Each structure stands twice: as C-alpha cells, then as structure tokens.
Amino acid sequence: MLERLFQLQAHDTTVRTEILAGVTTFLTMAYILFVNPSILGETGMDKGAVFVATCLAAAFGSAVMGLIANYPIALAPGMGLNAFFTYTVVLGMGHTWQVALGAVFLSACLFFLLSILRIREAIINSIPLELRSAIAAGIGLFLALIALQSAGIVVDNPATMVGMGDLGKPEALLAILGFFLIIGLEARKVTGAVLISILAVTLASILLGISEFGGVVSLPPSLAPTFLQLDIMGALDVGLISVIFAFLFVDLFDNSGTLIAVAKKAGLMRKDGYLPKMGRALIADSTAALGGSLLGTSTTTSYIESAAGVSAGGRTGLTAIVVALLFLLALFFAPLAGSVPPFATAPALLFVAVLMASGMAEIDWRDITVAAPVVVTALAMPLTYSIATGIAFGFIAWVAAKVLAGRWCELNPVLVILAVFCTIKLGLF
C-alpha cells in the first residue's frame, strides 16, 4: 500500500528511511508547538486552544501535502506570519484576533484560487534558475542565523547589531559539539546523522541539568475558544484589504522559496528547473492555510525545516505523513516533545544551511547581471530577517541589472510584473 501511494522504489528510498526523516523534520520544527501559542496568546487568544490548533493545523497540512503532492514537506503555522498577525494586525492596528483570523481565511481563499488557476505555479516557474539557487542559499543563511541565535552563539549588540555570545555557556558548547557530531557522522555516511545529534544533545542537556525532562503525557486542552471564531465580515472592511494582501504576499514568497529550496535539495527538481507536481503542492498548502484559520491559528505554510528531513533521506510524502502523525501524538505528549531544547535542534539547522548554500556553486560569477542579484538575494534574507524581503530584493535586482545592461530579451513578463509589484510593496516609489 505504501509503495502504491508514495512510489518509494522510484524515489530510491525505504519505509525506514522515510520514518527517520519524518521524525527528524518533526524534531526540528516542534518548537512551533510552544512558540506559536506564546505569540498568538498576546492577542488574548487562549493559549491552550492555540496549542491544540497548532498541532491539528500542522497535522492536517502535512498530511495533505504528503497525500496530494507526495513531497517530503511538512507544514505548520508560519513563523513571521504569526508575528505579523499579533504585532501588526492586532496590537499595532487595533483589530480583534477574530478579525485577524478572518483576514487569514480570506487570504487563504485567494491562495487557493491562485493555485487552482495555476497562477502561483506560473510565478514560481518564471523565476530564473540562478535566482532559485540564490533563494535556496539565502534561506540557508537565514536558517544559519536562527540556529546561531538559538544556540546563544550570536546575540544582539547595540553597537554592531549582532555580536558573539558567551561560548563558555553549556548551551553554546553543546550546540557546537552537536554540529560537529553531525559532520563526523555524515562524513562516515551514518544514516540519520541529524537525528542522532539532536537526541544526543538533548540527552546530554538533561543529564547535565541544563534542561528539564518535561514528563510524558498530558490531556490536550479544549479547542473551543478558537475553533470557528473567525470574523469574516469584519475582515471584509476596506481598511483590512491591505492586511489580506500582506498575508497573501508574505505566504506566496515564503512558501515558494521553501518549496524551491527543499525540492532542489531532495532532487525533486528537473535539470531545467521545472518542479513536477508544483500545482498540487500549492493547492495542498493553500488548503492547509484554510484549515488552520478555521481551527484558530495564523497562516499555515510549508516549513524550511523540512530540509532537515530531506538531509536524513526523506524523498516522498511518507515523510510528511510521519510528521502529521507525530503532531497528532504531540497533543498527548506535549511535555515530552518540549524536552528537546532549542540548542539541540540548532546544529541540525546549521547543517541544513551548509547543504543549501552549496547551490551557490552553480552560479555563473563571471556574469555581473547574474552575480549581483544573487548576492543581494542571499544576503538580504538573514540581514532583514525575512525570506519574503530577500526574494523581493532579488526580483528587483535581477530585472534592474538586466534592463540597465540592455538585456531585455532575457526577462519574462511575469518576472517584470513581480519586480514592479515588489518595488511598490517595499515602498521604493
């Protein structure tokens, strides 16, 4: 049955490898189970209900992606999108969280419409191969920054914006050791190197008394406080049109960048840059966003942490199904899932960053109209702390470089339109 559903042999993988990859992906993104309720809870939403909604939205989205697209990509409420939901729409603009959920629902409807009409697929396939490599590398650098922050290796500095943390702290030392453990195991071709490192660092942390073992089981809280509590009519207010399109804009490019990066690393992308079943993947993530808004959480989107599972051997939708099952189990084993500290998953993210940065080797550095936009794209993501902003900068830089070099013929209409839209969105004119 599994072979018929996921074509494991055709993708040169096994059930064991897919399960291992699913567990690895889950462990690298399990932090969302605790971060999302904390952020959305600041709007007045019930944190227990948000926890349950997060579990269910992630399980539903990952299962849909695995079954419809057969991709090893997991979904969950997106980081960045939940911050926009809380700090901009609710706390900044003064709207209720019910209205904000309504805006998420309407933007998800637009996602679905664009996916059905294949407009999103056309947008992604119009991105030049070199720019796709830059997007993958930029997301890698973004992940590296997150990993170094989680480990306490990089901290904020008022004078220089960022600085080195205290490397003498056990959290930083364990993260560093975990990273080199992955490198050593990977060099020796040990299957599940990333997962072994995560578990080893977690165990060491508990034994040393740095982190606590949170227990085993607990009954899930009630979903009632957030389930179907969205205010769609309130979200149709004229003043919220920009908010709806902001959700659409951020998810479009964050998700597109993630799909490109993970699919490229998994070997799912053809040599000409075409991504088979992209349409199905986009329909899956827009469906997940719809479901998440009904459950009571911010926009559900594809997770770049899926690349950790890919590095562990995941190649089919069975990986995503395993992630979905683990999110359902997390409803009852939340204390156990919470025993994995952030600095234990940091080495995995840093290792994925190394893998994703390798795409820069495919760039023709002799062509300045290619090299310049690529560098701008890759650097903008970590430095602006936004995947969407980095992609927008890349579109603008690519079109500007080709136009100023007199090479109009190398541009396609979709890319030009995207560059103009990004220019307006960023307030450049």
Q: Is residue 130 predicted with pLDDT exceeding 80?
A: yes
Structure tokens, 71: 């991709």
Return the pLDDT at 273: 60
Question: How far is it, in rounded angstroms, from Cα 305 to Cα 307?
Answer: 5
Q: Is residue 410 predicted with pLDDT exceeding 70?
A: yes
pTM of the model: 0.67
Rg (CA), the chain: 21
368-384 vs 129-150: helix crossing angle, rounded to 10:
30
Condensed to tens digits (0 to 9), the pLDDT of residues 290-326 reads: 888 899 888 888 887 787 788 777 788 888 899 999 9
Instruction: Work out the angle at residue 326's Cα, subtended by the Cα atoms of residues 324 and 328, and round it to the nearest 5 degrees.
Output: 75
Between residues 260 and 317, which one has the greater pLDDT?
Answer: 317
3-state secondary structure 151-220: CCCEEEECCCEEEECCCCCHHHHHHHHHHHHHHHHHHCCCCCHHHHHHHHHHHHHHHCCCCCCCCCCCCC
Question: How far is it, in rounded angstroms, from Cα 256 to Cα 293?
Answer: 20
Give the H/E segment covering residue 379: helix 368-384
Question: How far is it, in rounded angstroms, from Cα 11 to Cα 267?
Answer: 9
Instruction: Work out the angle at residue 337's Cα, subtended by the Cα atoms of residues 167 and 74, and round it to the nearest 5 degrees.
Output: 95
Condensed to tens digits (0 to 9), the pLDDT of residues 333-344 reads: 767 656 778 788
Q: Which of 199, 220, 223 is nearest to 328 (CA)?
A: 220
